[in-house]
Amino acid sequence: MTSETTAADIDRQELEQQFAELLDHYRGEPGALVPLLQGAQGIFGYLPEDVMRRVAEAAGEPLSKALGVATFYSQFRLHPHAKHTIRCCHGTACHVSGASRISEEVEKYLGIHAGQNTEDMLYTIEEVHCVGACGMAPVVMINDRAHGKLTPEKAVGVIKAFQAEVEGEGSGALAAASATGEEEAEQ
């Protein structure tokens, strides 16, 4: 119990440290509100109230404006987000190729609707407009990796394959997760 608490505390301290560096980096820079919100969300996964307050303060803007900006753009989340994001593309090419049926099946399989998290906080489903892989429509993205030419069955199949890869390997789970999010990892 105590050792777990300590580990969590260290994690939180680390995040706080990153957040403080982010605030210092952008403090006083014009137009910093959006990158600050993006950075903060990158650190905490979403934008809790105290984070919003400190972002607003660092950007030299009232909290009302920070909240106005955060709710204007679809990227920002005011509530916690699950670990992995499944984005069902609803761009035009995907729509005319049956994206609605794919969304239905994916939602049914995970037991949640778009915009919701699974109870274990492992998966969030999002509906997005276009991921730029129209030639492969219909497309579903799992984290930063796109999967194309899907049918409802295949879409569930790629999610199952991802789950097996990430959850099946126990301690290796993190490594597998970052391998699929390779675009980020290589930066």
Say whether residue 144 binds another protein (CB under 8 A): yes
The contact pattern for another protein, residues 12-31, with x = CB under 8 A and - = no contact, is: ------------------xx
Stretch binding another protein (CB under 8 A), from 3-11, 15-23, 101-109, 168-176:
101-109
Stretch binding another protein (CB under 8 A), from 3-11, 89-97, 112-120, 170-178:
89-97
Among 47, 137, 159, 177, binds another protein (CB under 8 A): 137
To which residue do tokens 């972002």 refer?
55
* Residues 156 and 140 sit within 8 Å (Cβ to Cβ): no
Phi, psi of 76 (to 5 degrees): -85, 145
Say whether residue 120 binds another protein (CB under 8 A): no
Say whether residue 76 binds another protein (CB under 8 A): yes
Say whether residue 57 binds another protein (CB under 8 A): no
Residue 1, C-beta contacts closer than 8 angstroms, at least 6 positions apart: none
Give the C-alpha distances (Å, rounded to integers) separating 41 from 8, 81, 84, 176. Answer: 19, 10, 14, 23
